Structure 1
Amino acid sequence: MDQKLALLSTLNQKDKGTAYLSLLSDVYSNPDAPHIVQDTRAVIEHLMSQDSGIIVGRQVLSELVKYLGGPAVVNTDTRKRILEDVLNIVQPRLASYEEQVNLFKFQLADLLENEEEWSDAARVLMGITLDSSQRATDEERLRVYIRIVRLLLEEEDSIQAETYYNRAASLIHSTTDKETLLAYKLSQARISDYGRKFLEAAARYHELSFVGEIDEDERRHMLSAAVTCAVLAPAGPNRSRILASLYRDERTAELPTYNILSKMFLDQILRPAEVKEFEKILKPHQLAQVSLSANDRLAAAMQGDDDDGSAEVVSTRTGPSTVLDRAVLEHNLLACSRIYNNITFRGLGALLDLTPGAAETMARKMIEQGRLKGHIDQVDKLIWFEAAKEEDDAQGKAGGLGDVNQDTEDTGGFFTKRWDMQIRLTAAHVETVVQHLVEKGLVNSAAAKA
């Protein structure tokens, strides 16, 4: 190889392009050659050091792109080593060979992604100079940004992913391609999920679960993600609508999370075993730790004063530890208000697995924020619940929004099952009528199926 390169140096400028291409063809004529990596490196180093001209350099690098993208090199490790070597050699002269370098980086990113090296693949794509490239269209930039977001989210790097998502958002108007739009919407849902904007994420996941172009298993996964985010979302009329929509979706009955979804929607108490089972499917960002407030610490200090003189301690917990824990505790407290007229601090603590003081603190917060109707009797250590009005049902949910406007929201929780049964009966009657018409020959069977 050294002799061939030395001979090539003596050629005229106009003959060098053909000579380099011929030499490159010899290198890749045998894909199993043991020195293909070293020979390729030698050719490219010679090409860059001899300053054979930009036109010749672009021709040779473009031909190398074809060889590496085709069947000339089967071994992926060999291809990766060649790509990394070429990029290191050509990088100092990026301005002259920008298009070819970008193509090499796309090939390297494909290899890394296939090996599930998500962060490395994302870093390679980040190095592509799309903003300064005149040939790159807005739609091409959009696809690269969405791909980077997807790769970063696989590594749960939501902060950096949001940066590229914002870039994609400014270019989404430039495409009408369905696949690109679906990828963008999925990125949007996942970004909202990782940012703990669970209400937005639930709505977008649920919307995507109806898209026919998406694989059935993926649609089921998105539906499950919608239920998870809806359970974790803060309370309010919009959350109640999402819960109602998911509860009425007949597909959710087949999900393992249907039990907790139905109990949340129907204001039933959640048991520790049910919460533990639900917790297994949550991702780390959905189990974010919550710090104890000053009131929670005070409740722990006053634990001895709240046990009504009994030596038995109901619980040692002084407050919720995670986002899920807080949502479940507040939901169970609201469920208690539907069952009892009043309850002692100690009794509520036993139900919520909290110290009596911590249970009182949580109830007081929710009463102050207008998410729980009632009042507290400090002398008798009782919490009195007021009968919830229909317009309050949409607001008093687990999670809490703080001070929110009272909006009338009839979610129809008491009539949901009756409504579903009426739909089933109507569909069954229609099916029976059609069957009779087919049997009598009044309607063609193919038309009936259509």
Structure 2
Amino acid sequence: MESAFASASAITDQRQKIEQYKLILSTVIASNDVSQAKKFIDHVDSLTMESAFASASAITDQRQKIEQYKLILSTVIASNDVSQAKKFIDHVLSDDVPLVVSRQLLQTFAQELGRLEPEAQKEIGHYILNQIQPRVVSFEEQVLIIREKVADLYESEQQWSKAAQMLSGIDLDSAMRVIDDTFRLSKCVKIASLYLEDDDAVNAEAFINKASFLVSNSQNEALNWTYKVCYARILDLKRKFLEAALRYYDISQIEKRQIGDEVINEEALEQALSAAVTCTILAAAGPQRSRVLATLYKIDRMELRLEVVDLRLPLDRFQPGSLLLSPLSFLLLSIKSRVRERTAESNTDPTHTPVSCRVVSTRVLCPKVPSPCNTGYFFCELYSQLLTGHAFGLETLAMLLAEYLTYVRTWLELVFKADYFLQLKHWTLLQDERCSKLKIYPILQKVYLERILRKPEIDAFAEELKAHQKALLPDNFTVLDRAMIEHNLLSASKLYTNISFDELGTLLGIAPHKAEKIASRMIYEDRMRGSIDQVEAVIHFEDDTEELQQWDQQIVGLCQALNDVLDSMAKKGLSIPV
């Protein structure tokens, strides 16, 4: 067949050439061979395409040339023939076609690509990208359109990683065309979200890290929202559960229900809150997790109303029962000393989220803490006690205000440069009722109350977990197993003064030497207070409330008792000496 085609093609006389092809056709029909018939059709099509290309190339007027090529392209698209499409691409990218014409034709081809069958789209799309690669700088706009169309096709087929790989080939740092930061951010976030659909945290993190440099200046709320969700999921997949919990919790507290074109329903926010609870339970047991647990279990936000009071005024100007009737020297000293301590520590503190503050009038300030999980996370242990409800009194609140002062620098002047004090006028604790409606609320309650969890409870919780949250670790424990063992060990430290390795192993359901190893790691990492006597094979637990804290609590209790006495005297009409 090939030799017959070659001899027919070599004939210069048109009539003789047609007669020769008719002879070849009669031979093909007589043979009844389908493969030979297909070869004959392909050869004739190629002759037709070549003659069409030759006639288009011969046109000197550029506008007419482009129109002629577009007619050929429409024929190729209508035929849905991959081989003809490839021949068209090869010709357009050859030296016979000027670059200006090639760009316009490829632009049109890229826009019309969606008219082909899905499999043809993918094959031709990949073929174009491969053929363009040596000259990709000259066809960046066309490459962008083709990659987006093929990626959309992969996404519709739920081939998430292939869609992400297709989009990742877009040059977002090109110097040949102007690309704004919003476009870069949208592509980075889109690629990251596609990788996350396949639980590929490594590749997703690479693109979300690129997005992190752009999101701070972004005014697109929808993109910023998607970025936050992706970042939380990446932390979750990488088993940075405590950080993921903080991100999920922040997402669950969003007040808007319409972000761009996306409607945020209550179900999505509840899923974020549930994810925050799950990640907190799976996080390493210790003080940091306890603070986040307290936030999820107990408090949504705290609102304080404060008023600037001039201490130089006579004390009898204030009504009985006010905050200022507590020992002034103690309160003022507590605030000033704590502000100095926190100011000195500010250079070594981790990154924090400042408390938002607004001025209601010249004399009244209203700070609002929308998320204690963020602002209170790096505060002193006293704040943790406040959240968990252990040391809840006016003096404790006064010292808590000192924590706020160190993060709102404009207030420092009120404390140090004038004899002013902040009088507590109103405070409110608002609980997040959504947590109590979650399916995993019972285990959250037990974890928060530091109760030992039994196997049926753990098994019920495991049914709500994702695959990566039950993955097997190098020590042959799953992620869930390790979290539950550490939690039960920390709970046991609240119940026992000391315990033997054997008894601890029985309590935790693991071998004694493994229980010792886990306990030693928790003590070393300051997640549990205690010491290990390896000679006696006993673990001694220590109370995490230090003597100084106990002393402070006794002082707070004394001040509260004194305040109660003064209130009682005022109600009975007794005079209060100043």
Report the CA distance shift for 1:194/1:369 in structure 2 as closer, same or farther (over 3 A): closer
Unpaired runs of 5+ residues, structure 1, are: 293-319, 394-407, 409-450
Q: Alignment partner of 2:165: what SS?
A: helix
2:239 is aligned with 1:196: yes
Out of 48, 64, 69, the residue aligned to residue 20 of structure 1 is 69
Q: Whole-Å Cα distance in 2 between the matches of residues 61 and 252 of structure 1?
A: 55
Report the CA distance shift for 1:391/1:79 in structure 2 as closer, same or farther (over 3 A): farther
- State TM-score, norm by structure 1: 0.72
Q: Whole-Å Cα distance in 1 between the matches of residues 524 and 71 of structure 2?
A: 81
2:291 is aligned with 1:244: no
Which residue of structure 2 aligns with residue 317 of structure 1?
none
Which residue of structure 2 aligns with residue 336 of structure 1?
492
Question: One-letter code of the match for 1:20?
Answer: Y
Q: Whole-Å Cα distance in 1 between the matches of residues 544 and 130 of structure 2?
A: 69
Across the two proteins, how many residue pairs are aligned to each other? 361
Shift of 1:130: 1.7
Question: One-letter code of the match for 1:195?
Answer: K
Out of 424, 436, 449, the residue aligned to residue 266 of structure 1 is 449
Q: Whole-Å Cα distance in 2 between the matches of residues 255 and 358 of structure 1?
A: 34
Runs of 4+ in 1 over 6 A off after TM superposition: 377-380, 390-393
Question: One-letter code of the match for 2:52?
Answer: K
Q: Alignment partner of 2:137: what SS?
A: coil
2:275 is aligned with 1:230: no
**Residues 178-218 of structure 1: CA deviation (Å, up to 9, x unaligned):** 11101111122122222322211101111112333424333
Matches within 5 A, 1:133-212: 133-211=176-254, 212=257
Out of 453, 465, 478, the residue aligned to residue 282 of structure 1 is 465
Q: Alignment partner of 2:231: what SS?
A: helix
Shift of 1:267: 0.3
Shift of 1:266: 0.6
**Residues 274-331 of structure 1: CA deviation (Å, up to 9, x unaligned):** 2223233333443454445xxxxxxxxxxxxxxxxxxxxxxxxxxx723332221121
Question: One-letter code of the match for 1:345?
Answer: F
Q: Whole-Å Cα distance in 2 between the matches of residues 392 and 286 of structure 1?
A: 40
Shift of 1:109: 0.9
Shift of 1:374: 4.9
What CA RMSD, in Å, does the superposition of the two structures yield over aligned residues? Answer: 3.0
Shift of 1:18: 1.8
Which residue of structure 1 aligns with residue 307 of structure 2?
none
Which residue of structure 1 aligns with residue 56 of structure 2?
8
CA contact (8 A) 2:91 2:97 kept: no
Q: Whole-Å Cα distance in 2 between the matches of residues 25 and 384 of structure 1?
A: 83
CA contact (8 A) 1:118 1:151 kept: yes
**Residues 399-448 of structure 1: CA deviation (Å, up to 9, x unaligned):** xxxxxxxxx9xxxxxxxxxxxxxxxxxxxxxxxxxxxxxxxxxxxxxxxx
Out of 74, 97, 100, the residue aligned to residue 142 of structure 2 is 100
Out of 161, 173, 178, the residue aligned to residue 131 of structure 1 is 173
Deviates more, 1:190-199 or 1:354-363: 354-363
CA contact (8 A) 1:16 1:52 kept: no
CA contact (8 A) 1:243 1:265 kept: yes
* Structure of higher CA gyration radius: 2
Q: Alignment partner of 1:96: what SS?
A: helix
Shift of 1:144: 0.8
Query: Structure 1 or 2: larger strand share?
Result: 2
Shift of 1:96: 1.6
Unpaired runs of 5+ residues, structure 2, are: 1-47, 259-263, 299-431, 554-578
CA contact (8 A) 2:498 2:538 kept: yes
Shift of 1:64: 1.8
- State TM-score, norm by structure 2: 0.57
Deviates more, 1:382-391 or 1:177-186: 382-391
Matches within 5 A, 1:54-133: 54-69=99-114, 72-73=115-116, 75-132=117-174, 133=176
Deviates more, 1:119-128 or 1:280-289: 280-289
Identical amino acids, percent of aligned pairs = 42
Shift of 1:50: 4.5
Q: Whole-Å Cα distance in 1 between the matches of residues 164 and 289 of structure 2?
A: 34
Q: Whole-Å Cα distance in 1 between the matches of residues 155 and 107 of structure 2?
A: 23
